Structure 1
Amino acid sequence: MSKVRFFLSVLLSLLFFYGTAQRKKEAVAAPSNLKTTPKLVVGIVVDQMRYDYLTRFSDHYGEDGFMRFINEGFNCKNHHFNYAPTSTGPGHASVYTGATPASHGIIGNDWYDKETDASVYCAGDPTQTSVGTTSDAGKMSPHRMNVTTLPDELRLHTQMRGKTIAISIKDRGAVLPGGHTANAAYWFHGKDEGKWISSSYYMEALPKWVQDFNASGKAGSYKKAWTTLKDLDAYVESGPDNNAYEGLFEGETAPVFPHSTTGLLNKEGDFDLLKTTPFGNSILVDFSIAAMENEGLGQDAIPDFLAISFSSTDYVGHKFGVGSKEIQDTYVRLDRDLARLFEALDQSVGKDEYTVFLTSDHAAVEVPSYLMDQRVPAGYFDRKAVQRNFSEFLKYTYGTEDIVKNFSNYQLFLDHKIIENLDLDIKDVQETIAREFLGYDFVDRVYTGHQMWTTNYTQGIPYILQNGYHQKRSGDVLIVLKPGHVSYSKTGSTHGSPQIYDTHSPLLFYGKGIKKGSTVKRTEIPDIAPTMATLLGVSFPNGTTGRPIPEVLEQE
């Protein structure tokens, strides 16, 4: 063999081995794209938050609250609930299960239970006992939720070594997000106690740090006058402070700042009032930071989960309405509380070691009485008049009112046994009643249970209704009011409908594994859990119907 041929042979061999080694190196490196492993995942739900609260109040936000999400994280601008009813229980369940009520079974805050012939509460569980209070406020568990949550799957993935803590002012805002395997869920029991409590589902007694927090007098320190954080005149993004569309605190003659009546400040043993002020959000952040510190969340390589739900935004919205200066001040203050939470996360876990998402459990409608005064189509559902007219219809058509067992969440539940005894067809009865309601002026459209069973809707209002329809739990006739029409008081805002003002909510991501940017592509509430599951490399919750949002993830 010549020297030239020998040299070429050696060179080819070296190139071959180098190429093989490089391919092996790339193969070893490839798994780094499989998952992102933050030390702590934080899920934040802001009760009754509309998407436009981000844009409308943006000039008043600092750099380290909402704007940290906007500037350093990812913003889904066209995010929606894809089911109805849009209320707190279904909202929290859907965010964390990646499913809709059709799958997870939480079809309302309360609903008529066909099996027991009684109303049931989404988080209520009479088999449990209260922990931290002698009242029944702790008799809660997630047993009515049929599927797993994202925190459940993270716990299962880590062989239960990761820890899950869920916290909210409302019990359902903690119980449902925590899922079936949470180490603890805590909620604020106001009344005459002002304590954070739990359920025997999670523990036998409150940890010492919770007992110490309750004994610290922190809740009582927030029983103070509610004045605006900024000058009242600076809140030009809201309506007049004194108007006819807002509710009153006890002892008030006008719904104006400062809210400092004797009933608000000094009423003995009444801590529930904190819920309807921004201070409910502040004490929630205080307790969440204490939980991080005392539970050691995010202190090792095994991911933990902290679920936080801000409820006071909902209470304030219900009382004062989405256009009020009270709601604006609540969000300006919430922005500061979010900054406090971020600061605690930066210090305790490390700025590049945690991942956060923020969304809502539903949005809200403008106060209909305000809309009516602005000549915008709106109105109120007159329940007494409807009951009177519908009762006459039932007697005339079927000879009895007993054919209807319940009306709740804008659904009619029929007595199938009576219908069979009258030798009637259930489908015909559903359609007859649907036509009757369609003739009422405030009704926009009506669908039957038969339609929900037999038709596959892919868009619009019926698609939203079908995603909220659970075959075992939902009713026989589904009623949709006209846009801007509600069953509520003439003051304050509400929610629950499939209309777009109730479905359009924020979705923000920030932290480890999250891209910087935004999208106007439609995303839906059930997309959150599979997106986070993809980031973490864990199984999707077992009822998931949503899809990951690839634009959000760095690994994509």
Structure 2
Amino acid sequence: MTIARPVATFAAAALAAAAALAVPAAAQPPSRPKLVVAISVDQFSADLFQQYRQHFDGGLHRLSEGVVFPAGYQGHNATETCPGHSTILTGSRPSRTGIIANNWFNLRVAREDKNVYCSEDPRIPGSTHSNYTVSPYHLRVPALGDHMKRADPRARVAVVAGKDRAAIMMGGYAPDQRWWWDSRASAFVNPGAAVPQPVAAANAELQDVLSRPRAARSLPKVCEAHSRAVPLVGGTRSVGDNRLGREENDKDGFRASPDFDRAVLDLGAALRRDMRLGQGEATDLLILGLSATDYVGHSFGNQGAEMCIQLMGLDDALGAFFRDLDATGIDYLVMLTADHGGHDVPERNRQHAIPDAVRVDPALNAGTPQRPGPMGERLAAALKLARAPLYGDGPFGDMYVDPALPAAQRKRVLDAAVRAYRAHPQVEAVFTAAELRAAPAPQGAPDHWSLLERAKASFDPERSGDFIVLLKPRVTPISEPGPGYAATHGSPWDYDRRVPILFWRKGLVPFEQPLAVETADILPTLAAIIGVPILPGTIDGRCLDLDEGEASSCVR
């Protein structure tokens, strides 16, 4: 993967428009934090938070004693990394951010590879889904850091993340520092940017860490009951009792361990010191994307010893990070949430009282005309077509009808494909683009949204497919598990949609609100606290009042 410095010029028009429309800044409230720390823990579901909450004694324990929304929602149906991260600091759903999935098909481009990655800049010659230039090109709305800099150019923004898509979607158009982990380089990168001393030092240290093996970890007492081998389908491997040790130069093992999150947190802390974030005249922003929980969940599922070890390690690493920040005396506010939840491996789910948990039927795979899947081949045979007529990235999600077909034939393909998917026993619903265009935007609490409303929240008329396929609950869309890919997420069901949303600040009176809120509510909540105006009607979220009393943190 070739990665170059993000291209931000395309954002100028959007930022200029936002500046022109912005309401005048209100009088400053009596106290604004000097630093906002925004953290996303990839695949940290509300279920995991509640399951382990009583066992946390570090950073997650601190946050669980702040203002807690245990039923936060990534309201949309495409519960993947890129769309989820795009909601957290923009205040907008994927239908507004334009980030409908981790990748989608753009059948209008001339290039052979029409599968577009959410964080690539397709304007770069030779760009492909796997060999791309990292850029916020596809993001259609500004993020919190962009709003902060518009309101006060003295504000500084730094981003460190385990994935490029987390760094791009939360960091917005033009943070002062943006660094993400590149496994091929075994380093934090942002090619084209000057490398500050903290990044160079972190990369040198991590090269040494990766060159040495990591012994299997001791099993915390709370994790003992989770340590049991569960064979996966095919019998080639099992999950549940791995202690997250690794051999030398095992990059995948490093990513699927607490060491990965600690590296992101350590670099975030070092950049904060180097940039003196929280020590200037304006409020600053430090964004941290922690990805190890996602890699552990994909590799081993979320109910084994592996996830237990990971969460205990994450709790400890966050505790150390907060203690370091406490020592500075900076008045800081923390927000922690997740881009999506996750689903355990079906083999263990069936052992844990969920007998209908299954792996997806590979017959649902659409494929492309160049590399047809079973469904594409079936439709080609039934309709007597020269080649498979579908573009799809697996057995569910957005599906596209080959635009090279004549209009009447495309209509026949669409009708036949929708009938075929709807008839399959593992498919819950299929919505066409026409149905989604006509559907109203979702209203009310996200836990009451219909499937159509969840799909509408992910629908973009220019990027979404000709139809979308939603699998039934407890169907894992991985037919054959492999190394690093045994379980996943991406469904419209609550185990993938629900995430915790946590706020902490010294002196903030704690309370818990169990009713459903959205991750799109985070931006207006933070913006109100730091006095950054957001034009009404430009976002989907609403401000959450973090003042436990009669006053409101949403009123400036």
| TM score, norm. by length of structure 1 | 0.82
What is the aligned counterpart of 1:448 among 421, 432, 437? 432
Against the structure 1 CA distance between its residues 278 and 378, is the aligned structure 2 distance closer, same or farther, given a 3 Å change threshold? same
Distance 2:358 2:188 in 1: 39
Partner of 1:484: 474
Q: Contact 2:188–2:199 (CA<8 Å) still a contact in 1?
A: yes
What is the aligned counterpart of 1:464 among 438, 454, 458? 454
Partner of 2:383: 397
What is the aligned counterpart of 1:187 among 180, 183, 186? 180
Partner of 1:210: 199
- Which amino acid in the other structure matches residue 102 of structure 1? S
Alpha-carbon deviation of 1:111? 1.4
Against the structure 1 CA distance between its residues 383 and 552, is the aligned structure 2 distance closer, same or farther, given a 3 Å change threshold? farther
Distance 1:215 1:116 in 2: 40
Alpha-carbon deviation of 1:369? 2.1
Q: Contact 1:151–1:164 (CA<8 Å) still a contact in 2?
A: yes
**Is the partner of 1:43 in helix, strand or coil?**
strand
Against the structure 1 CA distance between its residues 188 and 390, is the aligned structure 2 distance closer, same or farther, given a 3 Å change threshold? closer
Partner of 1:171: 164
Partner of 2:332: 354
Alpha-carbon deviation of 1:226? 4.7
Partner of 2:209: 220
Against the structure 1 CA distance between its residues 454 and 258, is the aligned structure 2 distance closer, same or farther, given a 3 Å change threshold? closer
Matching of residue 120 in structure 1 with residue 119 in structure 2: no
Q: Contact 1:104–1:543 (CA<8 Å) still a contact in 2?
A: no
What is the aligned counterpart of 2:38 among 40, 43, 49? 43
Alpha-carbon deviation of 1:381? 1.7
Matching of residue 162 in structure 1 with residue 155 in structure 2: yes
Q: Contact 2:243–2:309 (CA<8 Å) still a contact in 1?
A: no
Against the structure 1 CA distance between its residues 119 and 439, is the aligned structure 2 distance closer, same or farther, given a 3 Å change threshold? same
Q: Contact 1:411–1:479 (CA<8 Å) still a contact in 2?
A: yes
Partner of 2:302: 322
- Which amino acid in the other structure matches residue 402 of structure 2? D
Q: Contact 2:240–2:305 (CA<8 Å) still a contact in 1?
A: no
Distance 1:285 1:180 in 2: 22
Against the structure 1 CA distance between its residues 137 and 300, is the aligned structure 2 distance closer, same or farther, given a 3 Å change threshold? farther
Question: Counterparts in 2 of 1:5-16, with a 5 A limit?
Answer: none
Distance 1:336 1:266 in 2: 24
Q: Contact 1:102–1:469 (CA<8 Å) still a contact in 2?
A: yes
Partner of 2:231: 244
Alpha-carbon deviation of 1:460? 1.4
Count of matched residue positions in the alignment of Structure 1 and Structure 2 = 499
Q: Contact 2:403–2:410 (CA<8 Å) still a contact in 1?
A: no
Distance 1:349 1:307 in 2: 19
Alpha-carbon deviation of 1:272? 4.0
Against the structure 1 CA distance between its residues 376 and 114, is the aligned structure 2 distance closer, same or farther, given a 3 Å change threshold? same
Distance 1:433 1:299 in 2: 58
Q: Contact 1:149–1:179 (CA<8 Å) still a contact in 2?
A: yes
1:334-383 superposed Cα distances (whole Å, 9 cap, x missing partner): 00111111112212252xx1111000000001212222344531222222
Alpha-carbon deviation of 1:172? 1.2
Question: Counterparts in 2 of 1:496-515, with a 5 A limit?
Answer: 496-511=490-505, 514-515=508-509
Distance 1:308 1:247 in 2: 38
Partner of 2:511: 517
Matching of residue 493 in structure 1 with residue 487 in structure 2: yes
Distance 1:505 1:148 in 2: 23
Against the structure 1 CA distance between its residues 311 and 226, is the aligned structure 2 distance closer, same or farther, given a 3 Å change threshold? farther
Matching of residue 379 in structure 1 with residue 377 in structure 2: no
Alpha-carbon deviation of 1:393? 3.4
Partner of 2:5: none
- Which amino acid in the other structure matches residue 549 of structure 1? L
- Which amino acid in the other structure matches residue 349 of structure 2? L
**Is the partner of 1:506 in helix, strand or coil?**
strand
Distance 1:142 1:116 in 2: 19
**Is the partner of 1:412 in helix, strand or coil?**
strand
Partner of 1:363: 341
Higher deviation after alignment, 385-394 or 319-328: 385-394
Distance 1:253 1:475 in 2: 36
What is the aligned counterpart of 1:544 among 525, 529, 539? 539
Q: Contact 2:106–2:463 (CA<8 Å) still a contact in 1?
A: yes
- Which amino acid in the other structure matches residue 123 of structure 1? S
- Which amino acid in the other structure matches residue 44 of structure 2? M
Q: Contact 2:77–2:490 (CA<8 Å) still a contact in 1?
A: yes
Distance 2:417 2:502 in 1: 42
Against the structure 1 CA distance between its residues 248 and 207, is the aligned structure 2 distance closer, same or farther, given a 3 Å change threshold? farther
Distance 2:426 2:242 in 1: 35
Alpha-carbon deviation of 1:274? 0.9
Q: Contact 2:104–2:398 (CA<8 Å) still a contact in 1?
A: no
1:424-473 superposed Cα distances (whole Å, 9 cap, x missing partner): 574x7534421221111111111111100112263211111111011100
Alpha-carbon deviation of 1:551? 4.5
Alpha-carbon deviation of 1:305? 0.6
Against the structure 1 CA distance between its residues 457 and 291, is the aligned structure 2 distance closer, same or farther, given a 3 Å change threshold? closer
Alpha-carbon deviation of 1:513? 8.2
Partner of 1:266: 248
**Is the partner of 1:344 in helix, strand or coil?**
helix
1:411-435 superposed Cα distances (whole Å, 9 cap, x missing partner): 2111345242xx3574x75344212
**Is the partner of 1:44 in helix, strand or coil?**
strand
- Which amino acid in the other structure matches residue 183 of structure 1? D
Against the structure 1 CA distance between its residues 375 and 363, is the aligned structure 2 distance closer, same or farther, given a 3 Å change threshold? closer
Against the structure 1 CA distance between its residues 545 and 457, is the aligned structure 2 distance closer, same or farther, given a 3 Å change threshold? closer
Could you tell me which runs of 5 or more consecutive residues in structure 1 were left unpaired when the two chains were aligned: 1-29, 130-135
Distance 2:133 2:51 in 1: 39
Higher deviation after alignment, 373-382 or 45-54: 373-382
Against the structure 1 CA distance between its residues 244 and 99, is the aligned structure 2 distance closer, same or farther, given a 3 Å change threshold? same
- Which amino acid in the other structure matches residue 209 of structure 2? G
Distance 1:410 1:523 in 2: 25
Distance 1:246 1:509 in 2: 41
More helix by share: 1
Partner of 1:74: 67
**Is the partner of 2:405 in helix, strand or coil?**
helix
**Is the partner of 2:231 in helix, strand or coil?**
coil
Distance 2:231 2:158 in 1: 41
Alpha-carbon deviation of 1:517? 0.4
**Is the partner of 1:451 in helix, strand or coil?**
helix
Partner of 1:256: 241
Q: Contact 1:298–1:349 (CA<8 Å) still a contact in 2?
A: no
Partner of 2:271: 291
Partner of 1:555: 553
Larger gyration radius, structure 1 or structure 2: 1
Distance 2:45 2:133 in 1: 31
Partner of 2:423: 439
Against the structure 1 CA distance between its residues 111 and 349, is the aligned structure 2 distance closer, same or farther, given a 3 Å change threshold? farther
Alpha-carbon deviation of 1:102? 0.8
Partner of 1:196: 188
Could you tell me which runs of 5 or more consecutive residues in structure 2 were left unpaired when the two chains were aligned: 1-25, 366-372, 443-448
Partner of 1:4: none
Alpha-carbon deviation of 1:255? 6.1
Q: Contact 2:82–2:166 (CA<8 Å) still a contact in 1?
A: yes
Partner of 1:133: none
Against the structure 1 CA distance between its residues 165 and 295, is the aligned structure 2 distance closer, same or farther, given a 3 Å change threshold? same
Alpha-carbon deviation of 1:275? 0.3
Q: Contact 1:284–1:310 (CA<8 Å) still a contact in 2?
A: yes
1:101-145 superposed Cα distances (whole Å, 9 cap, x missing partner): 11111111121123216111111236679xxxxxx9883111110
Q: Contact 1:155–1:181 (CA<8 Å) still a contact in 2?
A: no
Distance 1:532 1:45 in 2: 15
Q: Contact 2:376–2:388 (CA<8 Å) still a contact in 1?
A: no
Alpha-carbon deviation of 1:303? 0.8
**Is the partner of 1:99 in helix, strand or coil?**
coil
Matching of residue 341 in structure 1 with residue 341 in structure 2: no
- Percent identity over the alignment is 25
Alpha-carbon deviation of 1:543? 4.4
Matching of residue 91 in structure 1 with residue 71 in structure 2: no
- Which amino acid in the other structure matches residue 223 of structure 2? Y
Q: Contact 1:150–1:540 (CA<8 Å) still a contact in 2?
A: no
**Is the partner of 1:469 in helix, strand or coil?**
coil
Distance 1:312 1:179 in 2: 22
